[in-house]
Structure 1
Amino acid sequence: MEYSRLVKAEAALRFLAIVLTMATAVLIGTTKETEMVFGVIKETANVHSLQALVVLLVTHSIATGYLLAQLCKACLLARSKTSLKSRPSKGLAWISFSMDQVMAYATFSVTTAATQGCYFAVSGQTQFQWMKLCNIYTRFCDKVAAALLFGLAASFLLAVVSCISAYNVFRLYPCKRPIAVKG
């Protein structure tokens, strides 16, 4: 019974992570704004304005696909009222755990890198004569900020899912003898 509840909780967390990674990718991919810069030049801000946003879009799209595949696996396990003896093999559990780790770290690192890049768009950098772009492209910056928040939330959910995967791996290795505690 405990294993079934754990699988259902993992499926729910994966579903929430899918929603957040997809929202991040859709917001980043579809957001653009065209403005007149200095009243003369017509410029458009979009995902290609900052290379970190392109990497963010690709990473969250890959994470969405991976999470969808894992969610299907978790749903199949939850529906197939399996006993504790028919758990996934150690190899599959290790692959799932490793990929969950990769996705958690990748989404977190890419989202924080994009956040740092966007910080310069908000604050500017006088030493390099970079102007504050968010004063010009306010709607674009607001949508990117929302996407970054979704991305960070997805990263934390993926970290929790990774902890569940770790539990699933290490419970496949039962303790052969009791551990003596000296006290």
Structure 2
Amino acid sequence: MSTMLKTPPDAAIAIPITIPADHSAPTTKVAAEVDCATMSSTKLPRNYDVMHLALRLVCVSASVASVVVMTSAKEKSTISLYGFNLPVYSKWSFSDSFDYLVGVSGAVAVHSFLQLLITSNMLLRKSSAISSRKHAWLVFAGDQVFAYAMMSAGSAASGVTNLNRTGIKHSSLPNFCKPLHSFCDRVAVAIGFGFFSCFLLAMSAVLDVVWLSEYY
């Protein structure tokens, strides 16, 4: 009597598998966060960069125009006071408020020109005008400081110009802008350019806030 040994036709073969510990998980997570931050900075639409560049260019032009027009404001004339014709001479440097406006306008021109160079360089490299969150906060702070300084300078210069146009009530001080109309007109144009620069800086600050709120 013979005994036959039967082997199961489909015998399962167990292969030991060792899963290594994932020591690279923290590194991978950090790399992913860096990639996300980089991607978020490149999400900016091209129109945003173009608007940023245009605002800087116009702001440089307006602030330089304010300096040029103000520093060319000077005029000689005569004024009648109590029946006497007196010679008068006015120049922008005679007023501290006008000096203040020229100084702030020059500082705004330098600030805007530097930002224009940075933005142009970024666009030539085909990257975003704002490279990081820290960069955005620095630009935002600078725009805010110079916008408030320009508003202060324009307001101070406007007060002096208004005094020249109206004179002092209940006194014999006349309207100096009648004989010095060219001087007063130039000062008014310079102040207008100064306030326009303030508006452009405020618009640039708004774009910085939009960028920070949308992408961080």
TM-score by length of 2: 0.72
Runs of 4+ in 1 over 6 A off after TM superposition: none
Match of 2:47 in 1: 5
Where do residues 1-183 of structure 1 align in structure 2 (5 Å cutoff)?
Answer: 2-38=44-80, 41-82=86-127, 88-127=131-170, 129-173=172-216
CA distance in 1, matches of 2:130, 2:54: 19
Gaps of 5+ in 2: 1-42
Question: SS of the counterpart of 1:126?
Answer: coil
Q: Do the aligned partners of 2:79 and 2:87 also contact (CA within 8 Å) in 1?
A: yes
Question: Which has the larger helix fraction?
Answer: 1
1:85-116 CA-to-partner distances (Å, cap 9, x unmatched) read: x9523222211110011111111221122112
1:5/1:129 Cα in 2 relative to 1: closer, same or farther (>3 Å)? same
Question: SS of the counterpart of 1:36?
Answer: strand
Q: Which has the higher contact order (CA 8 A, sep 6+)?
A: 1
Gaps of 5+ in 1: 174-183
Report the residue type matching 2:138 in the other structure.
I
1:17/1:40 Cα in 2 relative to 1: closer, same or farther (>3 Å)? same
Report the residue type matching 2:211 in the other structure.
N
Q: Percent identity?
A: 23
